[in-house]
Amino acid sequence: MDPLDFLSDEQLLQFFRCSRTEMSCMEQPHTFLNQLRDHHLIPEKMHKKLIRCRNKEVREKGVYQVLDWVEAERPDSIKVFWNCVFRDHLLLQYPTLRLLRNRLLNGSFTFYEILPKKVEKEEEEEDKKKKGSAEREEEEKKTGRKKRNQKKKSESEEEKPSTSTQSKPSQKRKVQRPKYSSPFSKEEKADIWTWPLLKTQLPVTCGDKEGMLNRDKLAKGERCIVVQGRWFTPSGFEEFGGKKSSKNWKYSIRCRDTTLGKLIQAKRALFPSNQLPGSITESEEDDDDEEEEEAEQEREERERGEQANTAGESITGGSHGGGKKSVFKVTCGAMNGMLHKERFASGSCGRSIRTELRWMTPGEFVTVGSALEDPSWKKDIQWDGKPLSVLIESKILVIHSLLCKCKLCSPTAKDRHDQDNDDDCFICRSQGSLICCDKCPRSFHQRCHLPNVGDAILGDDCPWICTFCVLRDSQSWRYPKQMTYQEALTCRISDHLLECQYLLLCLYNADEDHIAVADPCINVRNYSSVIKTPMWLDRVVENLQQNLYQSVQHFVSDVLLIFTNCATFNSDNAEFCGMGERLKDLFEREFKSTFSIQLQHPTASNSQ
C-alpha cells in the first residue's frame, strides 16, 4: 500500500509547505521540473523561463516560486504532485526526494496543526500594516506633509519604526522572503539548529556526495549521516566523499556554505559533555568500511547502467535465444555457475548464481572468480562469450530499484538465509515443503532424499546434512586405498548403503525426463511383451530399503538392467536410446569415483 494513501490532502499540503526549501536547493533540477511539466502541474511558460536560468541562486529562488505557485494554484492536485516526484528515476537522481519519502515512510515527520494558522495570522497583520502605510502616504501627499528629507527622518527613527517608514528586512513577510535566502546568511547563522525543518536533521555535503545528518545520532557518537539508506560516521562520510586526506571531517563536511565544525562550536550546549560529536570510536569507523565499499559499488553500477542505456548495441546471433531462457551458464575466471533469472536483483542483492557449493550474488561470484583488483560483475562475468551487461541491456535481466522491498533485496538475516538453498527439490525438480542441507545449496522433499528423512529429524535443532555432503566429507577415510572393480562388486551391501544411495540420487537428478524412474509397463504400450524382466529406479530403491540385495554386485546388476532394457526396447528410437546411454555412462563414472576403483578394470558387462 502506498503511504500517500493514508494521508489526507491537508497533511500532504502541510508536508509540502515544510519541504519546499529543501526541494528548491536540489542540484540540477531540470529533470524534476520536466516531470512537473509533463504532469501539467506547472505551465509551459513558467517551465521554459526557469530552464533557461543559469545562475544557481536565481534558479533556487525560481524553483521555490514554482513550488509556491503549485501550492496556491494546484492544492487539489497535491497527491498527484507527490506521486509524480516519488518516481524511481527521480529518487535515484535526487537524494533530497529520497529523504523526504523516507520521512513519510518511517513517520519521522510530525504534522503540526498550529503552524499554518499562525502563519496565516501573521500574513493578515502584515497586509493590514502595508495597507495602513499606503493610506497614510496618500494622506501625506494630499496635505503636503510629506517631506523631501524623508531619508534622514527614517534614519532618525530607525530604532522606533512606524508604519509610514519603508519596510526593513526584519519587517518582511516571514512566509516568503526568508525562504528565498540561504538558511545560513547574516543573523540567521546562529539559529540554524532551531529551524523547524532542521530540528532533527541537516542536509550535508562532502565533495560531490550528498547526505542527511541526524543530530541526535551525532550527539550520541553514532553513525549519523545517511546516504541512499546507508549510514556513515562523519569520518566515513569524509572518506566516501573523497576527502580522506583532509583528516578533519568537521571542516570537510559542510551544511551548504557552513562547515560542520562551526555549527557544532556555535551550538555546543546542545550536546551533553559525554556525548559531544566526534566521540565515535575507531572500531565503529573500521566497521563502516564495508558499508562504504558497498555504497561505492552501487554508485558505480548505476553509472554503468546509464552508459549501457546509451550504447544502442543490439544482441545478435545466438544471444537472441536468451530471452526465452530463465537459467544461464556463466563463468568468471575458473569459476562456473548457473544464473537464475528469477533470483536476480542486482550486483549485491539476490543470490542468483548457483555453484556446486553455494548460491552467490553476482558481486560475490566475481570477487571469488576474478583475479582483478577491482572487478566489475557486469563486465567480468561472461555468458555465451559476452559480458553479463548484454542481458541487462536487452532487458532479460532487470536490476531492481534501490528502494525495492522484495525479499531478494531485503537486508534482514532471515530473508538472506532463505536464499542459501535451492527453491526446487534436487531430485524431482518440483517445489513444496523442502528440507535444506546446511552444508550445500541442495533442497529435497523428505521422501525424495535417500535415506528418507523422518519428521523426528526435522524437529531436531542439529544441522542436517544430505547424502551428497556426507559421502564427500567421508570419502578420504572410507577408502584409504584403491580397489579393483571386482573387489568392489563383492563387497557386502550393508557396508556400502551410503554409496548405493548416492548413486541412485545421481541417477534421479540426471533423469530429467523420468524415463527410468517409474514402472514402464504401466505407461509404455507393449513394453511387457518386449521386455520380460522390467526394472526401474523406484523398484531398485524399494529392494535396497527392504534389504533384498546381499552384495554390491546384485545392486549394480539391477541398475544396469534398466539401461539394457532401455536399449532393447528403443532400438529404433535414437533419442531415448541416447538418454539411456548417458545415464549408463554417468552411473559407471560415479561408481568408479565413489568406490575408488583403479583405472584398469573390467567393464561392468563382463563382470556379470
Q: What is the pLDDT of residues 80-116, one digit of tens each?
A: 888 888 888 888 888 888 888 877 776 666 655 455 4
pLDDT at 319: 34
What is the mean predicted confidence (pLDDT) over 41-55? 84
Per-residue pLDDT at 279 exceeds 90: no
Per-residue pLDDT at 462 exceeds 50: yes
pLDDT value, residue 118: 45
pLDDT digits (tens, 9 = 90+) for 425-440: 999 989 888 999 999 9
Residue 425 lies in a domain: no
Which residue has cell 504532469? 39
Amino acid at 336: N
Is position 209 within any domain?
A: yes
Report pLDDT for 185.
Answer: 43
Report d(CA 125, CA 82) in Å as an integer. Answer: 32
pLDDT band, very low/low/confident/very high, at 270 (cuts 50, 70, 90)? very low
Residue 138 placed within a domain:
no
Q: What is the mean pLDDT of the chain?
A: 76
* pLDDT over 80 (residue 165): no
Per-residue pLDDT, 107: 65
Cell numbers at residue 304, please?
554503468
Q: Are residues 490 and 566 in the same domain?
A: yes
**Rounded Cα–Cα distance for residues 304 and 344 (Å):** 17
Whole-angstrom Cα distance, residue 268 to residue 441? 54
- Distance, in Å, from the CA atom of 397 to the CA atom of 345, rounded to the nearest integer, reads 8
In this prediction, residue 316 carries a pLDDT of: 35
Among the listed residues 375, 374, 401, the one whose alpha carbon sits nearest the alpha carbon of residue 388 = 375
Cα three-residue angle 541-544-548, rounded to 5 degrees: 130
Q: Is the pLDDT of residue 471 over 80?
A: yes
Q: Is 272 a domain residue? A: no
Final residue in a domain of this structure, among 247, 266, 285: 266
Give percent of the chain with pLDDT exceeding 70: 71
Lowest mean pLDDT among 17-26, 181-190, 231-240, 336-345: 181-190
Q: Give the CA diameter of the chain.
A: 132
Least confident of 23-37, 234-248, 461-475: 234-248
Residue-level pLDDT at 361: 94
Give the closest residue to 403 by CA, choosing from 356, 346, 453, 458: 346
Q: Domain end: 356, 374, 408, which one?
A: 408
pLDDT of residue 565: 93
Would you say residue 584 has pLDDT above 50? yes
The pLDDT of residue 265? 67
Is 50 exceeded by the pLDDT of residue 125?
yes
Section 345-369 average pLDDT? 92
Q: Is residue 448 part of a domain?
A: no
Calculate ∠ Cα 99-53-28, nearest 5°: 25
Q: Are residues 99 and 18 part of one domain?
A: yes
What is the CB neighbour count within 10 angstroms for residue 50? 20
According to the model, what pLDDT value does residue 189 have?
45
Residues 334 and 403 in one domain: yes
Tell me if 184 is assigned to some domain. no
Looking at the structure of the chain, the number of domains it has is 4
502 exposure class (CB count in 10 Å sphere: 0-12, 13-18, 19+): buried
CATH, residue 250: 3.10.390.10
**pLDDT for 170 beyond 60:** no
Q: How confident is the model at residue 538 (pLDDT cuts 50, 70, 90)?
A: very high
Distance CA 146, CA 137 (A): 8
pLDDT of residue 161: 43
Cell of 396: 532479460
As a three-state string, the secondary structure of 116-153 is HHHHHHHHHHHHHHHHHHHHHHHHHHHHCCCCCCHHHH
Task: List the domain range (segments joined by +) for residue 218.
Answer: 196-266
Same domain assignment for residues 392 and 485: no
Let me know whether 256 and 358 are in one domain. no
The last residue of one of the domains, among 65, 85, 106, is: 106
Is residue 77 included in any domain, yes or no?
yes
- Asked, for residue 449, whether it belongs to a domain, the answer is no
Please tell me whether residues 341 and 262 are part of one structural domain: no
Q: How far apart are CA 312 and CA 314, in angstroms?
A: 6
Chain-centre distance for alpha carbon 313: 27
Residue 604: pLDDT band with limits 50, 70, 90:
very low
**Cell matching residue 504:** 541412485
